[in-house]
Structure 1
């Protein structure tokens, strides 16, 4: 196991001081960070979405900004704006909320489509453009957006183009009874988030991001990923299948999970673990599926079960080591 994989586990352990019993969700958020990707946190209110983002930012000593999306939030609130300085007779750039390393877009589906679309360039290009001038965002940069899956009044559903830009989708869910009792005891006196100390910094994360891309992924696994993605485009219950960006997200997430596990090569298990969180939000279901109460997770699980994974020399060697 390399030193940086140990560091990633320390980051997850540190976040667990605040978020109880959600190790898988924490690991997925860290995976997205080291893949230079963005996260969509979809869950009911009060389960710790905002706390997870805050704990992640504190754990890696990253600059953090939060914007509470409402119908009156403007694109300039995110990107920033230019203001005329009468003393210098020049326009000066005033940064918006996006000028940070970790941006929490809280309740993203409560703002207007125009404001939502202002995130597109930010998420894809890692830059903002104001009055024709481009400003680079600090590295690493990550957007974590939250939304409530059951409240549709006064919301604007995210368009497919923006959903596709989220690297991974995470749901926390309610805690178990024993975990909730522990949460009550832990938070009764003080909020652990207030005393949380960083265990890494930006240079550590950038170094890991560079190393993750060097993890070997065999061609047989690339073919396996493409076959699954192609099946999402031909399924009878899916109106819109995953894009090539989805295939790339699965590859990178599998590389990151292998790296997190202390390996420099990807195994089939790494790919299978990352398929659902990276693809489920990229497919659009037909009305027939909704009427039959068939979810995207159900369809993807059935597709994965049908596809055979051919073993290569890399996997055979790994099994004998």
Structure 2
């Protein structure tokens, strides 16, 4: 990636982190007290995300390797791009508007723009699809282990319909590609319309090639497709350990199944508020509602959200620092 573009991403990320630090809805004394209360569990939570990001990287690595040799693009470099990409997603409104363009630009010198774009689009689709599977799994788990009254039945039904509807759209995207469809959507959005139309006309052949690569990936490389999807789903399951570790600071009467449901429902709430950087407010509200729905104290949810925010800020800083380390030189 051009050094100037990388510096723009870096500056934007630093500004976003500073804004977030000054908008914490808790005093720094109280924050430090809560961090001291976490004790050894806080380093364990931070370390856990090394393994989660490794799983995410493996999912992307599987996709890129399916297109041919990538000898110059090592797993370590891809791990660096993964962590930095997620850091940009955290600090960018509408999430994917920051991290995914960054990944495309970083990988392009190694595999070319078309292959870089198709691999990132495919990875994003896998990442989103794994969330739908995660939320659907939560519906099934809740129905099996908890009493479902009519109010909760309506909620679970709405989640199921939501996941099935969007999952169907993604399935069509796997079969026919998504690049041209995304540009068409952009051509109907105010302020983006003229840029999307101009981009579509200028890059029509490249967009068609990207869509062909996406469709071929789904049709001809089934084992690779499901392997990548499994790794992303596994990352969702492993991330439940974070909730389990945090809640064990407060109580020992919490099961992994409860943590699975808490993370699933809170992540659903946060993703519905995708237009906010770090889903500010949505994450906290989601944790409080999910914990309350499982008959745990709402304070547990607030504390869990707080430690999660600290973990996110820590890895955002790491991701921003990695943007300036070990870059490909022209």
Q: Which has the higher helix share?
A: 2
TM-score by length of 2: 0.27
Higher relative contact order, chain-length normalized (CA < 8 Å, sep 6+): 2
Specify which structure has the higher proportion of strand.
1
User: What's the TM-score once normalised by structure 1's chain length?
Assistant: 0.27
